[in-house]
Amino acid sequence: MADTTSHKRRGGGRAGAAARRGSAVIDQMPWDPPINIDRPTEPLDPAGIEAIHDGAMRILEEIGVEFFNEEAIGILREAGCTIEGDNVRMGRDFVMEMVAKAPSQFSITPRNPDRKIEIGGKNMVFGNVSSPPNYWDMEIGTKVPGNREMCRNLLKLTQYFNCIHFAGGYPVEPVDIHASVRHLDVLYDKLTLTDKAMHAYSLGKERVEDVMEMVRIAGGLSHEEFEATPRMYTNINSTSPLKHDHPMIDGCLRLARRGQAIVVTPFTLAGAMAPVTMAGAVAQSLAEALCAIALFQYVRPGIPCVIGTFTSNVDMKSGAPAFGTPEYMRSTQMTGQMARFYGLPMRSSGVCAANVPDGQSVWETSNSLWAAVQSGTNMVYHAAGWLEGGLIASPEKFIMDCEILQQIQRYMNPELTATGPDEIALDAIRSVGNDGHFFGIQHTQDRYTTAFYQPFLSDWKNYEGWDVAGGIWTAERAHHMFKEIVSSFEPPALDDGIRDELADFVARRKAEGGAPTDF
């Protein structure tokens, strides 16, 4: 293990043992979500923060956001907002008063309490790719629609890797399952193949209620226990510019009333659904998020809410979305400053426009993951497995991204920058003097097993050694690893009674017809 002398042991015990109980295809770091010890990169000065804040507030005060949800309109009217049809305008005093009720940090406790995650403060957690309709792997060799088997395999990766801390949405849409019952089958797979925190799509009453019930069952919880603290979350996108659709608001209200967490992530592509200027796109994104969060705080003061960002730019030649660009990095950093200004935890993503797990996919995804670090992001969505602007999920990309995520985890270990006498190591330097080397000395022997990051996918052999071993490029190495992990996967422990109860619930709800598909 590269990090066994980790600086913190939170949750290490049972989860660590579970990780060791699982297959040992690779020698990975233990479960230990990073604490972001870096000062964020902050491109905005106080006047810049004020300008973006004022822009967001004026959008809400002067232009308004459309809520296609009658219940929300009624609540916001009661709260004193100005309503014209679906258009809601709200004053900054109201927005700030409501947003101030949201906690700056909270936890989500999944069915395995050792996998509890902290959202907010300096905590960082990483989730799998969510919601691509398509799949690519090296064996298939082309883009194909997702199915349940692919989804299950990606869920196995989600569980297997200790650097993946939550199971977001479906890692690929299993379009071979009818939409009316898809949520039942996939949630069954998620809750049996993983024990990590997960989410419900806000796509209609039935889906949301079913998922909450299944998460409750899987945790062996009473309704009161379920509602006492967040056990799951939902993530919604606004429909930019300046609209919130019915099912998203409905789902959030349902979760809010049961004490579950909410992530609001506008998808403001600068130049398309938002101004071509990044500060404008950020201001609009904030306005769209804050008005929804204000609603949820009015309904349930103190409910955990996360402000998400998906502000990127389009390719002005084609209109296609671009990700992991310099503009994306800066908008993420700016949003981080604003999230701290509002006292809200923040979500961003690991993203790229590349179509295959090649060099481009790495620089784009790496840019976005390090922008998450620099921005002080708490919750990193799509942190592993995303290709083609989110239209493709790939297991090779998943595994490659996990190598970057582990490096971020290692990077945040304060031991790397410790400067005590043992680290300055004057006696060791004196003992080696002007000749010889440090390989054999006691100072090295005492530390060498844990001194440095040990990659699981990077190949540090010299060219000749690498060539003799097959001369395999990164993506192909990841592919072999994928096959091994999936074939030797052991699901996390789950009580048989709970498994049966979940299966019964799925069968009953299927018999009832699942969820309507005309939403």
Interface with its own copies in residues 458-497 (CB under 8 A): 458-464, 466-467, 471, 473-475, 478
Residue choice 100, 363, 493, 512 for contact with its own copies (CB under 8 A)? 363
CB-wise, 416 or 503, nearer to its own copies?
A: 416
Neighbours of 352 (CB within 10 A): 29
**Minimum distance from CB of 398 to its own copies (Å)?**
12
Residues 298-317 that bind its own copies (CB under 8 A): 313-317
Burial class (CB in 10 A: 0-12, 13-18, 19+), 14: middle
SS3 470: coil
**Minimum distance from CB of 308 to its own copies (Å)?**
19
Residues 94-113 that bind its own copies (CB under 8 A): none
CB-wise, 456 or 489, nearer to its own copies?
A: 456
Residues 214-233 that bind its own copies (CB under 8 A): none
Max Cα distance, the chain (Å): 81
CB-wise, 308 or 357, nearer to its own copies?
A: 357
Closest CA to 363 of 350, 349, 374, 372: 350
> Is position 420 an interface residue for its own copies (rule: CB under 8 A)?
yes
Whether cis (ω within 30° of 0) applies to the bond prior to 241 is yes
Contact region with its own copies (CB under 8 A), list: 162-170, 172-180, 199-207, 272-280: 272-280
Supply the DSSP symbol for 35: B
Residue 314 contacts residue 22 (beta carbons within 8 Å): no
Closest CA to 327 of 240, 266, 269: 269
Which segments of 138-292 are extended strands (E)?
Answer: 144-145, 166-167, 197-200, 233-236, 243-244, 261-264, 269-270
Strands 321-322 and 312-314: antiparallel
Token pair in block for residue 371: 């922008």
> 25-54 mask for its own copies (x: CB under 8 A)?
------------xxx-xxxx--xx--xx-x
Token pair in block for residue 121: 């403060």
> Is position 433 an interface residue for its own copies (rule: CB under 8 A)?
yes
CB-wise, 124 or 217, nearer to its own copies?
A: 124
Strand partners, 244: 67
> Is position 273 an interface residue for its own copies (rule: CB under 8 A)?
yes
> 319-358 mask for its own copies (x: CB under 8 A)?
xx-x--xxx-xx--xx------------------xxxxxx
> Is position 393 an interface residue for its own copies (rule: CB under 8 A)?
no
Closest CA to 114 of 29, 31, 216: 31
> 161-200 mask for its own copies (x: CB under 8 A)?
----------------------------------------
